[in-house]
């Protein structure tokens, strides 16, 4: 195979790999879907911000449980979703739209899913 043919073939393969997520647009998660799901699960959305790299980051709280969700808009995938529970005797220190540090990280199985 000539170098030129190899180059064209690689470009075509790469284009298909790249175009993959766009074709599966029905499974893409949008920020609206996340905020609706969080509200349905009893969370109050404390902040919804665009990050430096163009992702959408949610910080939400349900009394002593705090949850952070980051959505990659280009791939439509959740790239971070975790929750921390604080004890009433040791409540979190809240700084604006920041996810509070400390508390116990909840196991993934106990956090209701957002993308269903």
Partner 1 sequence: MRLNFIILLMVLVQTAGALFFIGDIGMSVLGIERQPIDWRLREAMEIGAAIALLIGLVLSGVLLLQSQRRLSRAEARLQRASGAFIEVVDESFALWALTRAERDVAFLLLKGFSTQEITGIRKTSEGTVKAQTNAIYRKAGVSGRGQLLSLFIDDLLAETHIPTPPIEPVSRA
Binding site for partner 1 (CB under 8 A): 51-53, 55, 57, 68, 70, 80, 82, 84, 98-99, 101-103, 105
Measured in Å, how far apart are the chain's first and last C-alpha atoms?
46
Between 21 and 98, whose beta carbon lies closer to partner 1?
98
Between 5 and 52, whose beta carbon lies closer to partner 1?
52
Length of the chain: 116
Q: DSSP letters of 81-105? A: EEEEE--TTSPPP--TTPPPP-SEE
Min dist. Cβ of residue 30 to partner 1 (A): 19
Between 5 and 105, whose beta carbon lies closer to partner 1?
105
* Cα 40 to the center of its chain, rounded Å: 17
């Amino acid at each position: 195979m000539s170098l030129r043919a190899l180059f064209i073939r690689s470009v075509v393969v790469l284009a298909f790999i790249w175009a993959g997520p766009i074709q599966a647009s029905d499974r893409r998660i949008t920020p609206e879907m996340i905020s609706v799901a969080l509200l349905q699960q009893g969370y109050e959305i404390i902040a919804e911000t665009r990050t430096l790299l163009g992702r959408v980051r949610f910080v939400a709280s349900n009394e002593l449980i705090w949850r952070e969700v980051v959505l990659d808009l280009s791939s439509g995938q959740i790239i971070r979703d975790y929750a921390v529970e604080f004890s009433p005797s040791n409540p979190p220190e809240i700084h604006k739209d920041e996810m509070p540090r400390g508390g116990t990280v909840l196991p993934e199985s106990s956090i209701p899913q957002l993308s269903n």
